[in-house]
Structure 1
Amino acid sequence: MRQGASGHVRLVQCGRRTLVEKRLPDPLGHDTEALALRTLAGSGLHVPELVEVAPGSILMTRMPGERLDEVHPDVRLDGLRASAALLRRLHGIEPPAELPAAPDDARTIRRYVDAGGPPLPLTIPPATPAVFCHGDWGDGNLLAVDGRITAVLDWEKAHLGDPLRELAGAAWGAARKDPRSFDAIAEGYGADPDALRPWVPIHAARLWLWFAEMGPPEHLDQLTAELLAWHDA
């Protein structure tokens, strides 16, 4: 069973209800997901309802729809454009005080350079005021019915961060599958695509480090080739 791609997820039958149990081995991720879902209850965003939170485990309602990464490319594109408006809404919600800080991009740059990653223009853009961020906004964490977003899943990486940084990560990640996605997501959010592009190398470096450390090797090889071609263009 897949609703989201992090932790161990399974369906649980509770009386007449089918619920989703998510087990997260990382205590920070577990607590962050529970915090985010509590905060967003009643916000108008389509998120699961918490049923029970126990150490290492979160029980929540099952959300309708199929993953946006499993639909026709044109339906996916429409869904991504629509999801960007939801991301903008998230960025306008008052974040809880306990929300973790954003990832340390300066540390990412140092690790990337030390690891010998492909040349990238790694400069951290000027910061904008921090907002409530999802942390992994993408088609694998979005459910949809006929292109309409029905759920946003996997909140364990939620943090207080730069909205353009998050939007750029969503746009670049989606554009690796379909180049049309970058402008579609920027348009759906109401942002200038050029304002997002300075953040893209940071996300590329983070993903390259992830593949270098976690694999699989073929994903690292593919991304390395993409970044080398990008540098040579």
Structure 2
Amino acid sequence: MAVTPSRDEGSAEFGLRVEQVDVVEDHEPDVTTLIDGVRAVLGQAVGTEIVTAEIRRFTGGASREVYAIHATDRDGAPVTAVLRRDPPGHGDPARMRAEVACLRAAAGAGVPVPRVLASGDTAPGIDAPYLLMNTVGGESIPRKLQRNPEFEAVRADIADELGYVLGRIHRTPLDTLTALDDSDQLDTIEQIYLGFAEPRPAVEAGLRWLREHRPPPRPVCLVHGDFRLGNLLIDPTGIQGVLDWELAHLGDPIEDLGWLCVRAWRFGASAPVGGLGGREQLLDGYHRATGDRPSADELHWWEVFGTLKWLVLSRFQAERHFGGAERSLELAAIGRRVCESEFDLIDALDLLDPAAPEPVSEPPGATVHDRPSVTEILELVAATLADDIGPALSEDAARQRYLLRICVSLLRISGRELTETGVMSQVRELLGRVDCISEAALAEKIRSAALSYEEKDVRAAVTATVLARVRASNPGYVA
């Protein structure tokens, strides 16, 4: 399961960042080897000798390595391409072959996708399953697509075009795509969630609602699986490329439309379709491509599913750190963003209790310590990092700036949590009203149907616990 592991609605950047990989004579042996491998594969793909090659690595959380290639042939003509490869030693040849098959099949169906130049389970110097594509122009950073003047004209109709492109994807012939997974997506997400052994009332309410309201199944088709801003290249004339097909599978086509409407992919904007347009526009474009117009209820079901899916996958990514598989400040911080999806989920299910109590701050207890207090220390350190140290970093220290922003965020989360000392007593009182000693007990009762997730006191308890987490982690999210 591969998802982008972090998002920052403050900066609204979910696109790829570029880091240059040095190409001077003393570059590291593995980079030199990769460049040599790229030259050979690219030369064979375009039918000419590649004399020089420079690679720049894209970063931003993808599970695969992605490189921009700028090369020249023996006549001095420029040659550009994009390389996707699995991390060496962690390759999945079958999944890469499936992605290649999706790109080729989708291209044949009229979907704007990069053209496959070459692919393989491995190659000398590349040393992992790989995919080489032509370069496609366009922007993928949501903040720029939502705000920059050059995209003003395309913004008016982009939701319609997004629906149209999804319709073309869903009409892709399946005869070359038999290797794709066709398992039930709701079952898959539920099993991942259960693997955490961390019962959550909001998730249990979502699972029950999804089981109780599931729309009739549609004929199986190609589903992109991660169709959203950040995985699209858009220029002022429209969509130029649909990227990142590694989560593609066979399933219900409306899954893609619902995923695109999940709040996480609006990046702080209000419009439901990627922060750029409305659901009706999306359905207009889809009808234009397919002759079919999904109902509002069907789209809503898949939007709820997508919200729950992002919640579970965010927790899955955090588990990579908590479980010891990959020590990472970035992944650990995602654990504090899960509550945002919890809030979105109960909001989408209309389970938010409007009478949920505001947090109460109790006066600090007696202490022998002088000021600054712990909370004051946290804020002082956070402010110094953000206002003094961060701006002093050099312009090429993008990764350090990014990690510093995460550190500042975690320090401020800690400070907010320490000041809301009355929250747990409120939560325990609300849980007691439904005869539960903990959130886990409430989750189990919702799962077993011993309690209805629509019951007033249940809604109050779920809302209070989720809001407590969000107000500590990202108070602006609720506002």
Report the TM-score when normalising by structure 1. 0.86
Aligned residue number for residue 89 of structure 1: 168
Change (3 A) 1:36 1:99: same
1:29-178 paired onto structure 2 within 5 Å: 29-55=95-121, 56-67=129-140, 69=142, 70-72=144-146, 75-76=154-155, 78-95=157-174, 96-104=176-184, 105-112=186-193, 115-117=198-200, 118=202, 119-120=205-206, 121-123=209-211, 124-146=214-236, 148-172=238-262, 174=265, 177-178=269-270
Change (3 A) 1:81 1:26: farther
Provide the C-alpha distance between the structure 2 equivalents of 1:102 and 1:227, rounded to a whole number of angstroms: 25
Change (3 A) 1:147 1:129: same
Aligned residue number for residue 187 of structure 1: 284
Provide the C-alpha distance between the structure 2 equivalents of 1:26 and 1:115, rounded to a whole number of angstroms: 29
Change (3 A) 1:91 1:84: same
Query: C-alpha offsets along residues 140-190 of structure 1, whole Å, 9 cap, x if unaligned?
Result: 111111151111111112221111222222223545743442513233213
Which of 207, 213, 218 is 2:336 aligned to?
A: 218
Contact 1:133/1:160, CA 8 A, preserved across alignment? yes
Provide the C-alpha distance between the structure 1 equivalents of 2:233 and 2:303, rounded to a whole number of angstroms: 25
Tell me the percent identity. 24
Matched, 1:12 2:12: no
Provide the C-alpha distance between the structure 2 equivalents of 1:189 and 1:109, rounded to a whole number of angstroms: 29
Report the TM-score when normalising by structure 2. 0.44
Aligned letter for 2:306? H
Residue 201 of structure 1: how far off its partner (Å): 2.7
Aligned letter for 1:72? Q
Change (3 A) 1:84 1:205: same
Provide the aligned C-alpha RMSD in A. 2.6
Task: Flag as ranges the 4+ runs of structure 1 deviating above 6 A.
Answer: none
**Alignment gaps of 5+ in structure 1:** none
Which of 293, 298, 303 is 1:200 aligned to?
A: 303
Query: C-alpha offsets along residues 74-101 of structure 1, whole Å, 9 cap, x if unaligned?
Result: 6556323312101101211212242413
Provide the C-alpha distance between the structure 1 equivalents of 2:345 and 2:59, rounded to a whole number of angstroms: 30
Provide the C-alpha distance between the structure 2 equivalents of 1:5 and 1:35, rounded to a whole number of angstroms: 24
Describe the SS at the equivalent of 2:97.
helix
Q: Which has the larger radius of gyration?
A: 2
Moved more, 119-128 or 82-91: 119-128
Contact 1:63/1:150, CA 8 A, preserved across alignment? yes
Residue 26 of structure 1: how far off its partner (Å): 3.4
Question: Which structure dedicates a bigger proportion of its chain to strand?
Answer: 1
Provide the C-alpha distance between the structure 2 equivalents of 1:214 and 1:13, rounded to a whole number of angstroms: 33
